[in-house]
Structure 1
Amino acid sequence: MSVPTTHPFAFDPTYGMKLKQLLAIEPPEAAPGFDDFWTERYRRATAVDPQPKLLRSKIEHPDWHVLDMTYTSTGAFQIGGWLLLPRDGPVRRGLVVGHGYGGRDLPDLDLPVKDTAVLFPCFRGLSLSAHPPIPNDPGGHVLYGIEKPDSYIIGGCVDDLWLAVSTLVALYPWLAGHIGYSGISFGGGIGALAIPFDTRIDRGHLVVPTFGHRSLWMTLPTIGSAQSVQAYQKKHESVLETLRLFDAASAAARIKVPMLVAPALFDPAVAPPCQFAVANSLAKFNEIFILDAGHFDYVGSSEQNALLHEKVRRFFKVP
């Protein structure tokens, strides 16, 4: 392992913790009503007709047909994104791919999957789904509607993921139960919250997932979205009770499908203890692939990413 030893941050992005300590972090106790909150939210989301609309994209690729698309999420929110369809071979699997808090300008055309319809939604308020007055910067977005669980933007983004699955099922009904999810950072946290309550998702891949162990998330120094919430709480009443309903580690403990999770030992944007709280919450049959660092360029990153890329190929391979 080659954890970075020099960096420009005013705090230690390892938080003084080695792998053994990180692997010992236990998931937090779930908030009262956690399961009821998400089960009801899922029921409402899956009652929505996504009404997908597809247009041929200007993006050309030798392996993929690329389509611009929109679909309807909860609250009649219009979600923009892209759909990739294989040029050769049938559609035998589905995959929804989330994004980090930087949003998404283009679909990832280098995913190691075949025979797969790949949907890249932009979560509400971000990139193609920008919608004033929702702020499109991470620090503002993560605060939007935080006063109440039912209005919090993070719940809406989980709805958007579920409606992305509904969109794939509407277009290709045979994919129900054969749809995966892959998400990094912000998208990793959203995935952890969504997967346990959606039986149509049969496996998930999360990279440096955020929103884990909210009581820790609210106390550790960071350059990520938690910094904005920490500053907000200093001026307002505590938001921890709301955040506990949106704890990715509590949700991960409820996931029953195969998972491939890649937490990092060093990360200035998503504190590693919070990432490992998510990974450690999963059932022991799942795979954890440990990165030296996240949200940071480091020596050996290309080699580690190549290894992870190959694991992802095998993980989502059509049987």
Structure 2
Amino acid sequence: MTFPAPYDLWFSDAAFDGSYGFTLDTLRAVAPVPPAPGFADRWRGWRESARSTDAVPRILSSSDRAGRRVSLIELSGVDGVRLRAWYVEPLAEAPRVGVVHSHGYGGRERVDLSRVPRDAAAIFPVARGLGALNVDVGAPEEREAHVLTGLSDPDAYVIGLCARDLWLAGDALRELAGDLPLYFVGESFGGGLGALAVPWDDRYVGATLVVPTFGQYDERLAAPCLGSGEHQRRHVQRHPEAREQLRLFDASTSALFFRIPVRIEAALWDQYVPPPGQFSIANAVPAELLELQVLPAGHAEYPGLGRVIVDARRAGREHLERSLTAAAEARD
């Protein structure tokens, strides 16, 4: 199989083309899915309902590392299930911002502070069902079972619950650290959850979404892949009615409602999260709010990856600072 350059050299043994035949120009033309009737009302209703659930964060254990305290905590999800997460706070000063930092599919083994300023408090929630902290808690861990759990009932669909749990993570962070402005960071699975959850939460001043998933289901369901979308694609082939059930959980639709600065790092080649889905989320964000970094590839090793990661993390921290400044100026 022949791939476009430089992927013909980087991924010569790949089973299929992770660009799916798209170029940057055609990716920038992928339209988000318009809201179905009642889309915004449903998400606003879920947000309002979540306000009545108390996160009740409880610190289970703590240790100090390089000027920060890292605590294992427990908090409630939107349906009351108790989930575990990590909470991080600076030791030398009061935090000036709170970072809610989600993760990729499969969960999280440890905290990653590369996108968190030293004077920030942060919560690293682990999605229900996923490792290392919440295996089979509130949802099954196995990938296919997880991404399809509860799909027939919008109030119980696991992707919606995971997104709505992020609101409680923000509650827990502010209860522990104080009434801070929030900034969101999420990659892949976590990026898609952020696109679903953050537009409805007015505590956020900005967000970074890295190779975000759950975008543009018309494209997602047409593209065989190595990620969770493949389980959804095969399920919809067997149960065509599930295409309608997914409309409430399209991250490209929810991204149309962003009213804060959003940085998106989207990849031209990705066998796990097809690029048209990633770019559909970027294309949904109002142009004046969007900062787009185009990555050569996602979910893959390639020459120069280390420098791309370093530059992206630095740019993400700079975006956080600009978002904080813009929010402060808007208040004054």
Structure-1-length-normalised TM-score: 0.94
Q: Which residue of 1 aligns with 2:306?
A: 302
Matches within 5 A, 1:1-319: 3-5=6-8, 6-58=11-63, 60-127=64-131, 128-131=133-136, 134-175=139-180, 178-285=181-288, 286-317=290-321, 319=325
Distance 1:143 1:306 in 2: 35
Q: Which amino acid aligns with 2:206?
A: R
Residues 98, 122 of structure 1: 8 Å contact kept: yes
- Cα distance in 1 between the residues matched to 2:202 and 2:137: 33
**SS, match of residue 142 in structure 1:** helix
Secondary structure of 1:245's counterpart equals helix
Point out where structure 1 has 5 or more consecutive residues left out of the alignment.
Answer: none
Q: Secondary structure at the match of 2:179?
A: helix
Distance between the aligned counterparts of 1:2 and 1:115, measured in 2? Answer: 42
Q: State how far apart, in whole Å, the 2-side matches of 1:182 and 1:33 are.
A: 27
Structure 2: runs of 5+ lacking an equivalent: 326-332
Letter in 2 for 1:276: F
**2:87, 2:173 within 8 Å by CA — same for their partners in 1?**
no
CA-to-partner distance for each residue in 1:226-274, whole Å, 9 max, x for gaps? 1111122233342111111100001111101011110000000000001
TM-score where L is the length of structure 2? 0.91
Whether the 8 Å contact between 1:183 and 1:205 is mirrored in structure 2 is yes
Tell me, yes or no, if the aligned pair for 1:4 and 1:293 is still in contact at 8 Å.
no
Q: Does the CA contact (< 8 Å) of 2:151 and 2:158 recur in 1?
A: yes
Query: Structure 1 vs Structure 2: percent identity of aligned residues?
Result: 35
Q: 1:181 to 1:2 in 2, by over 3 A?
A: farther
Whether the 8 Å CA contact 1:54–1:70 is kept in 2: the answer is: yes
* Number of equivalent positions: 316
Q: Decide which moves more: 269-278 or 150-159.
A: 150-159
- Classify the secondary structure of the residue corresponding to 1:74: coil
Contact 1:11 1:221 in 2 (8 A): no
Cα deviation, 1:27-55, whole Å, max 9, x if unaligned, reads 12112210011011111112111000013
Partner deviation per Cα, 1:62-115 (whole Å, 9 max, x = no partner): 131111101011221111110111122211110000000021011113334121
